[in-house]
Amino acid sequence: MSKSFLTAVEDRRTVYALSKSSPISDARIQEIVEFAVKHSPSSFNSQSGRAVVLLGEQHDKFWELTKSTLKALVSEDQWVSTEQRLGGFQAGYGTVLFFEDTAVVEGLQNAFPSYKDNFPVWSGHSSGMLQYVVWTALETEGLGASLQHYNPLVDGFVQREWNVPTTWKLQSQLVFGTPAAPAGDKEFQPLSDRVKVFN
């Protein structure tokens, strides 16, 4: 990684304009996702995070099936903008589907009943960290990305098409590709309203 960690954190942005190309190989993309799944933190070292990487025709299939699913649910007026937005995601190079394995979470709930209500919350924290690690790592390699949430609408066909275990609960979809345009401007709220330091 050529960038410093903090620079990578700063440079990671939501990029919607993506092209169907990648500056790195598919093998490198897989390596990044596997590294993140292995090393991202999880409560009680539960390692409940799961990922499915969709490239090429599989990426296109996901977004075509998403279009079909949403077309049946939205009005004709809404469909024009919805189709355009989904087409923008399909224009990317690939998609990472992020999951949490509910069997792992339920196992922890049974093993540690006093923390039962916390484990689903902590599972969400773990998933967020995994998503962020992958997103930031892809950015350092020259890829742009945006995080989408079409679950639970797409859960059924995801399980069928990619043979995903029923215990895997879909959390989000990270669509990525070479940026076709830079991220937009971003405004920041005053840090004095967001951080308190006592010493």
Does 68 have pLDDT greater than 70?
yes
Does 3 have pLDDT greater than 80?
no
Closest by CA position to 145, among listed 34, 22, 48: 22
Return the pLDDT at 187: 95
The proportion of the chain whose per-residue pLDDT surpasses 90, expressed as a percent, equals: 98
pTM: 0.95
70-113 residue pLDDT tens = 999 999 999 999 999 999 999 999 999 999 999 999 999 999 99
**CATH number of this structure's domain 5-193, picked from the four choices 3.40.50.10330, 3.40.109.10, 3.30.980.10, 3.10.20.30:** 3.40.109.10
Give the start-to-end residue ranges of the domains of the chain.
5-193
Return the pLDDT at 2: 55
Does 1 have pLDDT greater than 50?
no
Does 135 have pLDDT greater than 80?
yes
Does 176 have pLDDT greater than 80?
yes
For range 134-158, the mean pLDDT: 97
Angstrom CA distances, 73 to 68, 77, 78, 152, stand at 9, 12, 10, 13
CA atoms within 13 A on the CB side of 172: 18
